[in-house]
Amino acid sequence: MDMVSPYAFRLTEYLKKEIAARPEGALAKQFMPTRAELTPAPSDMLDPIGDRVHSPCPGIVHRYPDRALYLVAASCAAYCRYCFRKEVVGRTKPLSSKERNVALDYIRAHPEIREIILTGGDPLVFSDLKLGQYLADLLDIESLRLIRIHTRAPIVDPGRVTSSFIDLCRQVQVTGRGLQIVVHCNHAEELTPEVRTALKALISQGLGLLSQSVLLKGINDCELALENLFRELTYLGIKPYYLHHLDRAPGSEHFRVSLVRGMELVRNLRGCLTGLAQPTYVIDIPGGYGKVPVNSDYIKRVGPKTYHIVDWRGQSHAYTDIE
C-alpha cells in the first residue's frame, strides 16, 4: 500500500490468505484500500441513511415502530471499503456500560419495539462471553420477541463461528424468542469451503439464515455474478433477503451502480433465477426516511437524472442519480 486512507483498514488472517491467493479477486476489491476512496463526490453524505436523526440515545436507531437497531459494536474484524457507516465504524468507541443501560432502558420503555437488530459494526467482534451478556440483557426485556444479528464475521473470519457462539444462539431460541442471523455476503467467491462449513454449522443447528448484499460496481454488477451469488446462498440454505443500493458514504463513489442499471439487473434476474433466490432490491432514502423497494411504484422518474421516491409514510423525496 502506497497511500494512507482516512478510513479504517483491517484484515483478518483468513482474508490475508485469501487475498494473497487471489489479488484481483472479489475479496481484494472489497477490502484493500485504493486511491479512488480519497476522491470526494458531490453526493457524499457523512450520515447517509440518517442514523443520527432517529437516534434517541447512543447505540439505538429507532426508525420504524416495531424494530430498532442496537449498535453494540463500533468496529469490525475487517473493513469493507464501501462501508455505509465508515464515518463511525472503526473510528469510535463501543458503548460504555452506562450507555448500554440507557439503551436497554429505552427499549424497555418502548414495548412497541418487538425486534432488536444487533449490529454496529459487527457484534461478533465481541467474545462469546460478552455477546452472551448482551443477549441476556435483551432477553430480560419481555416485550422483545425477535433478536436479529447482522454480521459479516462468517465471511471474513469463518473460525469466529465457534461452537460456543452456536450455543448462545440456541439458548435464545430455548427462551421462545425468535433469532435470525443475517449474513452480509456480496460475491460467490466469498463462499469458500471454510465459509461454507461455518455457515452450515449454524444452519444444521436449526438457526435461520438470511443474507444481505450490496450492489457494487466492478464486483457484482453483472447478471452472472448476482445469479451465482444468490443461487449458491439459496442452495446452502440461506435466503437472499436484501440487495442494497449503495449508500452515499464518502469515498465510495467508485463502487456506485446507477439505479437504472440496478433495476435492469434485477429485472433480468427474474427470468433466469428461481424466485426463492430473489432478494428485494432496496434503497435507503438519504436523510433517514427508511428503506423502500426499488422496483416498484415507490420510485417515479421525473427528469433525465431525477426521481421522486415515496417513503413508507407516503412522503416524497427528491433523488438525483449518476446517469
Sorted by sequence, the CB contacts under 8 Å of residue 315 that are 6+ apart come out as: 289
Residues in the chain: 323
User: Strand 299-301 relative to strand 291-293: parallel, antiparallel, unpaired?
Assistant: unpaired
The SS3 of residue 209 is: strand
From the list 247, 248, 256, 281, the catalytic residue is 247
Please identify, using beta-carbon distances, which residue of 29 and 62 lies nearer to ligand PLP.
62
From the list 29, 157, 291, 298, the catalytic residue is 291
The closest residue (CB) to ligand PLP is 63
* Grid coordinates given for 320: 438525483
Name the residue type at position 121: G
69 binds, among ligand PLP, ligand SF4, none (CB under 5 to 8 A by kind): ligand PLP
149 binds, among ligand SF4, ligand PLP, none (CB under 5 to 8 A by kind): none
Count of residues that interact with ligand PLP, criterion CB under 6 A: 8
What is the residue-wise DSSP string for 27-44?
A: HHHHHS--GGGGS--TT-
For residues 22 and 273, what is the distance between their CA atoms, to the nearest angstrom?
Answer: 28
Instruction: List the 239-244 sheet strands across, edge first.
Output: 60-64, 67-71, 115-119, 146-151, 178-184, 208-214, 239-244, 280-284, 291-293
Determine if 150 is a binding residue for ligand PLP (CB under 6 A).
no
From the list 7, 76, 248, 281, the catalytic residue is 76
Residue 242 and residue 230 in contact, taking contact as beta carbons nearer than 8 Å: no
The stretch among 36-44, 57-65, 120-128, 266-274 that binds ligand PLP (CB under 6 A) is 57-65
Please confirm, yes or no, whether 291 is among the known catalytic residues. yes
Please identify, using beta-carbon distances, which residue of 76 and 195 lies nearer to ligand SF4.
76
Q: Mask of contacts with ligand PLP, 285-304, x by CB under 6 A?
A: ------x-------------
From the list 44, 64, 130, 239, the catalytic residue is 64
Please confirm, yes or no, whether 80 is among the known catalytic residues. yes
Q: How far is the CA of 72 from the CAs of 19, 56, 95, in angstroms?
A: 29, 15, 6
103 binds, among ligand PLP, ligand SF4, none (CB under 5 to 8 A by kind): none
Positions in the binding site for ligand SF4 (CB under 6 A): 76, 79-80, 83, 85, 89, 121-122, 152, 184
Sorted by sequence, the CB contacts under 8 Å of residue 10 that are 6+ apart come out as: 76, 77, 78, 79, 90
- The phi and psi torsions of 75 (rounded to 5 degrees) equal -140, 170
Determine if 67 is a binding residue for ligand PLP (CB under 6 A).
yes
From the list 83, 185, 256, 281, the catalytic residue is 83
In the complex, what is the shortest distance from the CB of residue 55 to ligand SF4, in angstroms, rounded to a whole number? 16
116 binds, among ligand PLP, ligand SF4, none (CB under 5 to 8 A by kind): none
Residues at the interface with ligand PLP (CB under 6 A): 49, 61, 63-64, 67, 69, 117, 291
Question: What amino acid positions are annotated as catalytic residues?
Answer: 63-64, 67, 76, 80, 83, 85, 247, 284, 291
